[in-house]
Amino acid sequence: MVTRSLVKLIDEAIIPAVSLICGKMIGLLASSYFLHLPFTFKNGQFLKILPSVQFQSLEAYTTAENYSNLVMFLVAAAGTVYVLVRAHYFHESHIHPSLHAKLVAIGQDWLVAPSYHLYHQAVIWLVFLWLTVGFLVLSTILGTTYPQIAIIAFVVAANFSWVLAVDIEKEIELGKSQ
């Protein structure tokens, strides 16, 4: 059972990891483009295949880094919100019967998910959200990210963790009553 859960966690981690990497890259490129931040591409220094981006000034780098960090955090928060909404409203153990009937009637019953699937997704997204918060705090300490971004990220992650804890508590209460 433990190995099955570990495989499920690894499987569930692929989409969030790719999403965060893409969010970071899109944020970097979008901030550079829309804010007209001058940069150049250089030949890869890491593994000789990945290009490196070099900004012409420290201010341009800091601005692009802040916006890309913000986009990366928003991607992690959006994924976590999606999973938490599914866990709170579309959880097969405590979905409201009338909502379930409406979903079946319109052919959207695939939204209803079992605990095994939802909690693995929720744990993975929360882990990535907290890793993003840790990255933002470290970037703040190093002086490349504004402290406001890290503080807001911490508050959001703490609240999302609390929402998941409430849902897990609700699931335990339902398990005890059956």
The answer to whether 139 and 65 are in contact (CB under 8 A) is yes
The answer to whether 37 and 60 are in contact (CB under 8 A) is yes
Q: Is 128 exposed, middle or buried (0-12, 13-18, 19+ CB in 10 A)?
A: buried
Beta partners for residue 113, in sequence order: 91
Structure tokens at 54: 């070099």
Taking phi over 0 as left and psi of -120 to 50 as alpha, with beta for the rest, 76 belongs to alpha
Residue bearing tokens 């979008």: 30
Helix extents (H) in the chain:
2-34, 58-89, 97-105, 115-142, 147-177
> What's the pLDDT score for residue 103?
73
Q: Which range in 9-13, 111-115, 167-171 is most confidently predicted, on average pLDDT?
A: 167-171
What's the pLDDT band for 1 if we cut at 50, 70, 90? low
Instruction: For residue 38, give Cα distances in angstroms to 56, 60, 70, 72, 74.
Output: 6, 7, 20, 21, 25
The answer to whether 84 and 156 are in contact (CB under 8 A) is no
Q: Per-residue pLDDT tens for 77-115?
A: 999 999 988 887 776 777 777 777 777 788 777 777 777
Q: How many CB atoms within 10 Å of residue 8?
A: 17
